[in-house]
Amino acid sequence: MIETTTIRPFTAASFNQYLAEGKLMAARCADCGKLSLPPRAICSKCHGVNLVWTETSGKGKLAGFTVVYIAPTFMIEQGYGRDKPYVSGIVELDEGVKISARILGVDATQPDSIGIGTRLEVGFIEAGEGDKKKSYLAFKTRQE
């Protein structure tokens, strides 16, 4: 894990900016050590505000998942739906924090083949072009 202290505020915009840079960043409380992902401006353990940005390893395991057949509009626009489902899951990072994200590299049409505990690593999905380009958090299966 790489400690990185910057002047970026602990906001969704800053978190998304890090995703666009290919980094999965969390907030670590300098007072009690609690790691928060997604990052928060106030520590949920000690309520302190002495936080630093911390780059995670991006490695973890699948803690839970669901296969989505009835997609929201922005996913339908990407071709997902009843005939082409996708997987959304909870990933427990090696650092102990959990975050939800899209899961890549698994067969959404065969949910029985997807295993809790599957090793994953961070991946990023980029959508749009130019000023409208955005990076989304995802995790992909990894080989040990």
CATH topology of domain 59-141: OB fold (Dihydrolipoamide Acetyltransferase, E2P) (2.40.50)
Q: What is the pLDDT of residues 26-55, one digit of tens each?
A: 999 999 999 999 999 999 999 999 999 999
Return the H-helix or E-strand segment holding 75. Answer: helix 73-76
Per-residue pLDDT tens over the stretch 57-108: 999 999 999 999 999 998 998 899 999 999 999 999 999 999 999 999 999 9
Cβ partners under 8 Å of residue 10, min gap 6:
27, 39, 40, 41, 51, 53
- Pull the structure tokens for residue 93: 């990072």
Cα-based distances in Å from 69 to 32, 60, 103, 122: 41, 25, 14, 23
Query: How far is the C-alpha of 22 from the C-alpha of 25, rounded, in Å?
Result: 10
Quote the pTM value. Answer: 0.87
Domain definitions of the chain by residue range? 2-55, 59-141
